[in-house]
Structure 1
Amino acid sequence: MSYTLRKWYQDLLSKEKGAVQKDWGGKITVCLIFPNHYWVGMSNLGFQIIYQLLNSFPDVVCERAFLPERELLEEHQRTNTPLLSLESQRPLSQFQILAFSLPYENDYLNLLRILHWGRVPLRSGERTPRDPLVVAGGAAPTLNPEPLSPFVDVFLLGEGEATVERFLEAFRRWGDDRRRLLEGLASSEGIYVPSLYEVRYKDDGTIGSFRPLSDNIPSRVRRPWLKELDRLPLSSSLLTPETEFGEMVLLELGRGCPCRCRFCAVCSLYRPFRNRPLTLIEEGIEEGLRKARKIGLVGSALGSHPNFEGICERVIREGGVLSLSSLRADAVTERVARALASGGQRTVSIAPETGSEKLRQMVAKDLTDEEIMEATRILVKEGIVNLRLYFLVGLPGERWQDVEAIPPLLRRIRHVMISTLRKEGGRITVSVNSFVPKAWTPFQWAPYAEVTETQRKMRALSKEIKEIKGCRMIHDLPKWGYLQALLSMGDRRVGNLLLIAWEEGGNWGMAFRRSPLNPDFWVYREKEEREILPFDFIDHGIQKERLWEEYREALGR
């Protein structure tokens, strides 16, 4: 290994507090991989919790790896050095298990890049028992793992904490016999082994059947969840300035969401909604403040914790600085705003999602314009003068009038800000993203809106929002939303497109031209009620018929 590589890894480690380094002797070796850059992965609380959990087993050593920055990758290639783990700087190919944490579909291509740079065969069928076992989990594959099925040996679906121990028990028992290991894992709750299932297709391209290759393997894989969160780590154990949040301890208040927004998969992913006990959170605050001055509260529905206001005030009372991931407008109270402002926070994120109340009702976003105005008034009154507002374009049932309703809503919010401040001030950052259909939501049957039409809506919004003083708009590119829709809704044939895109250096346009598959089939096509969807084999405890009823209800059919 070159001096430059060794120094880069050692410098990064030297800035961390809480990294675990173990001797490898006689232990199961796991490399936990986040398929994006270090600062993104280390800002992810779920990634940190799994790192803590794996290293809590005496017979397991868990190290980390990330997508290398360009300069680091060039040094690896210049010196012909494979991708290395952070803690011991060992090649990925020397680990028994490579475990990918995948919260986002758009990182799927990075999984292939990391395997290639780690000198591990890409396709599961090409790997031998001497190669690492490639495992993946996280939010994205729990919704739909199929596009990655040609490359991943084992998927851990659902909450990782609920499956890791069973996975390790099987590995201890059958780790030396790859075939027996896969068969044993496939019969365990929450574990999906794609090579042990067969998919057949109809002439029209839809799925005709999806069945296990053996009677010993379940036809459906049940997503496990933890009934109690009090036995789990609730905060980040690793601190480093090289992350999005700097030296801030992230603390999880709960999982899931009691709301049932029809476009959002959080409710399905983490159902049932669970809050962590107050006593555990208070202990976490005390422990966190011994590590850092700033506490970041994390959760999809922070305001739904029954003690939310008191938790915020507790952080301040203990001498800490409070930060929140985001808030529902109807969860903003004077006590919460005061706690945030006392720590110097000047920006809060809220998601109206649409400009019109009518469309909000259609998508089951239970939030009124008046609640948004009241939240704005409270925040500004307490000194939080900047807002980040999130909107979606291309929702099912959306009309041009709904898009055109966004600028008037922003003008009303600006008016409330100025009248509360009694002067010009504050800023609104408007983040507009294209709607992407997600598995296990009522909108899983909906097509992605045409890219050209979404671009037209984005341009119209950008032009009008520029005219609103104190507002600026940022937005995603609809073509990347198209790719996310493909990876969210595709079956295992999409894995072939993924492989071609990797061969073309990430050039998806070239991949689409080379492939005989038409990606519009998965992206622009409205699915049929009785159609077998690629992810139907996962049991989330949700009735598909009920989701279909909600879809029809939303569209007024």
Structure 2
Amino acid sequence: MGCRSIPLLSVRLEDICIGVDRLSWLLKEKLKNQLTTEKGAKIFAPGSRNGFALVYPNTYYVGMSNLGMHIIYKCINDRKDTACERVFLPDKKTEQEYLRTNTPLMTLETQRPLYEFPLIGFSVTFEMDYFNLIKVLDMGKVPVLAAERTETDPLVIIGGPCATFNPEPLADFVDICIIGEGEEVIQDLLDTYYAERHKPRKELLAALAQIEGIYVPGFSTFHYDSNGKITARETTPGIPPITRRRWIKNLEQFEAQTVIVTADTEFGSMFLIEVARGCGRHCRFCMAGYCFRNPRIRSLARIKQAIGQAKQLNLKVGLMGAAISDHPNIDDICEEIVQQDLNMSVASLRADSLTPRLVKALAVSNHKTVTLAPEAASIRMRDVINKGITDEHMYQAIHLAIAAGIHNIRLYIMIDLPFERDEDIEEIILMARKFKEYMKKLGSAGKLTLSINPFIPKPFTPFQWLAVSPVATIEAKLKHIQTSLKKDKNIEVLAETPKESNIQGILARGDRRLGSALLTAYRLGGYKHFKRAMREYNLQEEFYLYRTRDEAEIFPWSHLNMGFHAEYLWQELQRADSGQTTPPCTNHCTRCGVCN
């Protein structure tokens, strides 16, 4: 076969530049188009205010479902001196456009490059978003490592649950950590920043470190022994050695509801309203129940006012809080929503505080499923985790749901809980069958779904000292449950992959040495490379996951103070081991020390 010549492709440099410019223009147009679908975003004239970039290290779809983003966005924009602009992780296609054109990641409101903002604040809710945080900085042309930032680079701030309970795995990448709830501390931070920003970066950070609720990782040095355990932590002279969390004593001072309305979120066109904050139930696995004590409720009057705003927008009401049905006025709240001819939604419910009025309101709102969270099947395990739920509570809740016309039940279950035995796994199978049989007895042909997640020990809980089982052991437990229930009609088993929860477990209780592995994993392609990256730095999975800590071990988060008595969590661990329960919070209780 003869050869034929192939003409060379002729491309002019100016054509390439025009193509790149057009792609950059298209990226800006995408952001502008997203803005046109919203109600409530604030855009200020260029130069009229100082800029603050508020980042959610995940997609717009996920980030705009986070009520904390809305709250802080409003808190910052309510000032007269600061314009808050949002940044989200782009989807895969848009990310490729950013990379192809070498365009820095831009804000939604004015399409400014991230690196131009003097202050960048991340809301960090999930451990798996740590990899995304690094990606956002990199794509935004911000030096990824805090140690490499100069006087002209932004200050990078993290807040949210992950920053509160253990910011150390992110210490290499951030300048400032907000410990606790952000509404008040963000004001103090901005006031101090504007008063001190003329000073060198290190002096400015030292001034910010004096604010209660602010931790600056760069002023701390950790020392380790040959086994990898922390032996001491040194703090730069003049910097507070302990950081106390900030929490809002009076929720009425701050609104906590949807600020920007958009249909492009995980919850759809829903108006979110926080009815309470914190939880006093003392579930021993729940970090939120410890780091956000004490439990506080919003007044019925304030909630009704928020429902009125949902009515004006003709949106479904989403009630937010750790234990919605524990609100003393939950029936009145539901009645108001129904009277306003609105639909409503809630997260999972406690079976022991479910009311007929609440279930009826969900049925009127066309809910097809009620989600309950027994967390464990056996009474023994529920006592260990201090859940406070009995089978009678569960039967009553199922009865209320079916009587209201809601025939599908979803149960949140955890496996590999502390002090779990083989018979506790068998109890999950038995529980599913007996609850499904009860549903049939009530005349329901609905589906029973078990949503099963491996347990992850979290800081500032009584289980922070404990080990977890290897992935193979957890997978075997899951497979046994799935196989056993496979032939049971209308029983569905959904499960989170143990491999991913394994990484979450490492990051939840990790120290700042993990920063190198996080960065390497990001450069290799993401979280799937994290274990390989750990091995490169001789960081052992067994050290972070599979060992029980001593009572006196110094944790990476030991310098953070949530308000507890020092011995409180250890005492709760001993009570869990012996199956003793702890009653919920009451007024004037001094048991844990938070209310002192």
Residue in 2 aligned with 1:485? 505
Question: Residues 214 and 243 of structure 2 are in contact (CA less than 8 Å); yes or no, is this contact kept in structure 1?
Answer: yes
Matched, 1:432 2:452: yes
Looking at structure 1, the residues matched to 217 and 37 of structure 2 have their Cα atoms a distance apart, in angstroms, of 39
SS of residue in 2 equivalent to 1:445: coil
Partner Cα separation in structure 2 for residue 55 and residue 493 of structure 1: 36
User: Which of 214, 230, 233 pairs up with 1:210?
Assistant: 233
1:410 offset after TM fit, Å?
1.1
- Give distance in 2, aligned partners of 1:410 and 1:309: 29
Matched residue, 1:441: 461
* Counterpart amino acid of residue 127 in structure 2: E
- Displacement, 1:342? 1.1
Checking the alignment, whether the CA contact within 8 Å between 1:18 and 1:238 is kept in structure 2 is: yes
Q: 1:201/1:509 Cα in 2 relative to 1: closer, same or farther (>3 Å)?
A: closer
Listed as ranges, the gaps of 5+ residues in structure 1 are none
| Cα distance change on mapping 1:179 and 1:509 into 2, 3 Å | closer
Query: Partner letter of residue 152 of structure 1?
Result: V
Give 1:26 deviation, angstroms. Answer: 4.7
| Aligned counterparts of 1:313 and 1:321: Cα–Cα separation in 2 | 11
Q: Output one character per residue of 1:16-68: Cα deviation in whole Å (capped at 9) or x when no partner.
A: 11111112315221110000111100001111111111111111010001111
Matched residues in 2 for 1:237 and 1:188: separation?
27
Measured in 2, the distance between the counterparts of 1:544 and 1:341 equals: 46
Q: Which residue of 2 aligns with 1:197?
A: 220
Cα deviation for residue 9 of structure 1 reads 1.0
Q: What is the correspondence of 1:228-377 to structure 2 with a 5 Å cutoff?
A: 228-377=250-399
TM-score by length of 2: 0.91
How far the C-alpha of 1:548 sits from its partner, in A, is 0.9
> Amino acid of the residue matched to residue 188 of structure 2?
R
- The answer to whether 1:45 aligns with 2:97 is no
Structure 2 CA distance for aligned equivalents of residues 211 and 366 of structure 1 = 41
- Give the aligned partner of residue 520 of structure 2: 500
In the aligned structure 1, how far is the partner of 2:107 from the partner of 2:387? 43
**Hey, what does 1:415 align to over in structure 2?**
437
Aligned to 1:470: 490
Q: For residue 4 of structure 1, report the CA deviation from its aligned partner.
A: 2.4
**TM-fit CA distance, 1:414:** 1.2
- 1:140-160: CA deviations, max 9, x gaps? 110001110111000111001
Identity rate, percent: 39
Q: How does 1:516-555 map to 2 (within 5 A)?
A: 516-555=538-577
In structure 2, distance between residues paired with 1:153 and 1:348: 43
Kept in 2: contact 1:258–1:301 (CA 8 A):
no
Amino acid at match of 1:117: M
Q: What residue identity is the alignment partner of 1:281?
A: I
* CA–CA separation in structure 1 for the residues paired with 2:46 and 2:57: 24
Q: SS where residue 447 of structure 1 aligns?
A: coil
Q: Is the 8 A contact 1:189 1:222 kept in 2?
A: yes
Q: Unaligned stretches of 5+ in structure 2?
A: 1-20, 580-596
**Is 1:294–1:321's contact at 8 Å kept on the other side of the alignment?**
yes
Q: What are the superposed Cα offsets for residues 180-232 of structure 1, whole Å, 9 maximum, x if unpaired?
A: 21000111100000111121112322111113111x21111000111101111
- AA of the residue aligned to 1:63: E
Structure 2 residue 116 is the aligned partner of structure 1 residue 88: no
Moved over 4 A (4+): none
Point out the more displaced range, 87-96 or 518-527. Answer: 518-527
Q: Tell me, in whole angstroms, the C-alpha distance in 2 between the residues paired with 1:292 and 1:16.
A: 15
Length-normalised TM-score, structure 1: 0.97
Give 1:158's aligned residue.
Answer: 180
CA contact (8 A) 1:33 1:65 kept: yes
Q: Structure 2: how far apart are the matches of 1:146 and 1:361?
A: 32
The question of whether the paired residues in 1 share the 8 Å contact of 2:325 and 2:355 is answered with no
Q: Judge which range, 539-548 or 359-368, deviates more.
A: 539-548
Q: Residues of 1 paired with 2:536 and 2:553: CA distance?
A: 28
Q: Is the 8 A contact 2:373 2:412 kept in 1?
A: yes
Which one of the candidate residues 114, 133, 152 is aligned to 1:130? 152
Equivalence for 2:13: none
1:185 aligns with 2:213: no
Is contact 2:514-2:534 (8 Å) kept? Answer: no
Within 2, Cα distance between the matches of 1:26 and 1:250?
31
SS state at 2:253 partner: coil
**2:234, 2:50 → 1: CA distance?**
32
Inter-partner Cα distance in structure 1 for 2:98 and 2:578 = 56
In 1, are the aligned partners of 2:131 and 2:522 still within 8 Å (CA)?
Answer: yes
- Does residue 383 in structure 1 map to residue 383 in structure 2? no
2: CA distance, partners of 1:509 / 1:219: 32
Letter matched to residue 448 of structure 1: V
CA distance in 2, matches of 1:239, 1:64: 14
Report the 3-state secondary structure (helix = DSSP H, G, I; strand = E; otherwise coil) of the residue aligned with 2:362: helix
User: SS in structure 2 opposite 1:373?
Assistant: helix
Is 1:512 aligned to 2:534, yes or no? yes
Q: Indicate the residue corresponding to 1:451 in structure 2.
A: 471
Quick one: distance in 2 between partners of 1:19 and 1:465? Answer: 48
Tell me which residue corresponds to 2:248: 226
> Separation in 1 of the partners of 2:211 and 2:457?
29
CA RMSD of aligned residues (A): 1.3
Give the Å deviation of 1:467: 2.0
